[in-house]
Structure 1
Amino acid sequence: MRFWIVVLRHTCRNMLHTWKSQGMTLFTVSLSVLIFSFFYLVYVNALHVGERLGDDLRLVVYLDEEPAPPLQEEYRHKILKFDQVDRIEFIGREQAYKRFERILGENSDVLTGVPTDFLPASIEVYPVRTLDSLSRIKRFSDYLQTLPGVLKVQYGKEWIERFYAFIQLMRVIILLSGSLLIMTTTFMVAHTIRLTLFARQQELELLRLVGATDNYIRMPFLLEGALQGGIGACCGLGALLLLYNWITLQFAGPAAIPLPAFAFFQWPVIAAIIGLATLLCVAGSFSAIRRFLHF
């Protein structure tokens, strides 16, 4: 217990003596965590939106004639052979007419005199609602077009392709911001620790001469790096939470633009981000100590 009290005292003294560089390091770590966590939050919520696509993520296969039960089973077998799906629904001509009539509502009188079998029979295929299904849906559509008796295959091609391109872009941005987080945190912490080591070089040499152990010399600097990472990550996530609440308030109210329900990080994700930033800063601190003291 006395060892950790001494270590904490030395750590506080080191941070007070180099408070300017400490402040710059905390700001850099906070900004890096804010940038990374912001794009990661957008990415996570976009994935949740993709999982709630519902009926928008479906392929409608129009047929030249209404399939008999044996042919329906053949269609089902061929569809499941290509990919997993949530469900497959066969829509007959009369069922399609009744659905169209419900959609028209009060204007359904325009169908007066129109035969109930003027609409084609169809198969509605609902792929498994995952991000991978978005990347395969074009190939799925091309495959369904090759089935016998198929006239046309329709799906929300434009918006699905745009949504998938957005997800891919967010992945690239997250990788870049994650790389920025790694480089800035390790470099800035290592630079700050190096300044502290230069300032206390004579004192550290005296400590080694009087028999101070390696752990006794190392620990204050490692703890300093851990504090920089932990405090910086908390500040970055705190700034993100304020930004998230501000955006939520801006789009709240009956006159606001309806948006999907976005959610903030769960506690395990928050703990993981703080832990990652802390480990990176400790790694930067260890790198500086190892090079300077030649341990």
Structure 2
Amino acid sequence: MSLLSSAFRHTGRNMLQTWKSQVMTLFTVSLSILIFSFFYLSYFNALHIGQELGDDLRLIVYLDEEPSPPLQEEYRRKIKKFDQVEQIVFVSRQEAFLRFEKQLGDDKDILLDIQQDFLPPSIEVYPIKTLDSLSRIKRFSDYLYTLPGVLKVQYGKDWIERFYSFIQLMRIIVILSGFLLIMTTTFMVAHTIRLTLLSRQRELELLRLVGATDNYIRMPFLFEGAFQGLIGACLGIGALYALYNWIILQFSGSSLFQLFPFSFLPLPIVAVLIVASTLLCSFGSFSSARKTLRL
């Protein structure tokens, strides 16, 4: 217990003596956390928007003739053979006409002199709503074209391809900002600890002369790095939360936000970010202290 209290006491003294570099390190760590968490928040909400849009995701396969029950089973078997689906619905000419009539509403009178079998039968295929299903939808459509009796396959090609490209871009940005977070936090903390160690070289030599071990000397700097990571992460997440509330306040009346709610990061993800920042800064502090004490 005395070892820990002594390490905490030395850590506090170190941070007070080098407060200028500590403030710069905290600013860098918090800014890195803010940048990474902002892009991850955007990516997180984009995935949820994709799930909302995916509620209407379907492929409509138009057929030249209404399939008999045995042929329907054959269609089901071939479709499920290519990919997993949530639902397969066969729509007859009559059902298609009734749907069209319902969509017209008050203007359905224009269909009075039209035969009810003028619309083609179709198969509605509902893929499983995941991001991977968006990437496979084009290949799925090409496969459905190969089924017998298929006239046309229709789906929201333009928005699916654009949205999937946007998600892929956001994923790359999140990965790059993650590398930025790792590099800046470990480098800045390691650089700060190294400067502190070099400025106290004579004091550390005296500690060794009186029998202090390397672990005893390293422990305050390890705690210092952990505190920098913890406080910097909390500041970065706090800044992100303030920015999130400002965005919600500015666009609270927007129809887009009403259609697709913009939510903050869940607590488990916030906890992971804080723990990751603390561990990264601790690692940077530990590695810098170990290298410097060997000099």
Task: Verify same fold: TM over 0.5.
Answer: yes
Q: Per-residue deviation at 1:52?
A: 2.6
Taking the aligned partners of 1:149 and 1:255, their CA distance within structure 2 comes to: 42
**What are the residue-to-residue correspondences of 1:172-191 with 2, within 5 Å?**
172-191=172-191
Quote how far apart the aligned CAs of 1:257 are.
Answer: 5.8
Whichever residue aligns with residue 218 of structure 1, its letter is R
What is the TM-score of this pair, normalised by structure 1? 0.97
Q: How does 1:72-221 map to 2 (within 5 A)?
A: 72-221=72-221
> 2:195 is aligned with what amino acid?
L
Structure-1 residue corresponding to 2:66 = 66
Whole-angstrom CA distance in 2 between matches of 1:256 and 1:69: 43
Q: Measure the CA separation in 2 of the matches of 1:209 and 1:259.
A: 69
Q: 2:4, 2:164 → 1: CA distance?
A: 51
After TM superposition, give the deviation of residue 43 of structure 1 in Å.
1.1
State the 1:262 CA deviation.
Answer: 2.1
Distance (whole Å) between structure 1 residues aligned to residue 81 and residue 191 of structure 2: 58
Corresponding residue pairs, total: 295
2:6 counterpart residue number: 6
Query: Which amino acid is 2:114 matched to?
Result: V
1:194-248 superposed Cα distances (whole Å, 9 cap, x missing partner): 1110111110000000001222101100000000000000100011111111111
Residue 167 to residue 54, structure 1, CA distance change in 2 (3 Å):
closer
Structure 1 unpaired stretches of 5+: none
Q: Separation in 2 of the partners of 1:43 and 1:234?
A: 21
- Partner Cα separation in structure 2 for residue 27 and residue 202 of structure 1: 29
Tell me how far apart the structure 2 counterparts of residues 160 and 273 of structure 1 sit (CA, whole Å): 31
What is the aligned partner in structure 2 of residue 250 from structure 1?
250
Give the aligned partner of residue 15 of structure 2: 15
| Amino acid corresponding to residue 65 of structure 2 in structure 1 | E
Amino acid across the alignment from 2:137:
I
| Alpha-carbon distance change, 132 to 255 in structure 1, aligned in 2, over 3 angstroms | closer
SS in 1 for 2:253: coil
Q: Which moved more, 1:157-166 or 1:259-268?
A: 259-268
Distance 2:254 2:282 in 1: 48
Distance 1:26 1:8, change over 3 A: same
1:72-99 residue CA offsets vs partner (Å, 9 max, x unmatched):
1110110000000000000000100100
What is the SS of the residue equivalent to 2:263? coil
Q: How far off is 1:258 after superposition?
A: 3.7
Q: Which amino acid aligns with 2:38?
A: F
Counterparts in 2 of 1:64 and 1:256: CA distance versus 1, 3 Å:
closer
Distance 2:37 2:253 in 1: 27
CA distance in 2, matches of 1:87, 1:259: 25
Corresponding residue of 2:41: 41
Cα distance in structure 1, aligned partners of 2:201 and 2:230: 26
Structure 1 residues 269 and 257, CA gap change in structure 2 (3 angstroms): closer
* Distance change in 2, residues 1:74/1:118 (3 Å): same
Asked if the contact 1:53/1:129 (under 8 Å) is kept, the reply is no
In structure 2, give the amino acid aligned to 1:50: G
Change (3 A) 1:231 1:257: closer
Q: Post-superposition shift, 1:49? A: 2.0
User: TM-score, normalised to structure 2's length?
Assistant: 0.97
- Which region of structure 1 is more displaced relative to structure 2, 265-274 or 140-149? 265-274
CA contact (8 A) 2:55 2:129 kept: no
User: How far does residue 253 in structure 1 lie from its aligned partner after superposition?
Assistant: 3.3
**AA in 1 matched with 2:75:** Y
Cα shift at 1:259 = 4.1
Amino acid at match of 2:271: A
Comparing 40-49 with 30-39, which one deviates more in the overlay? 40-49
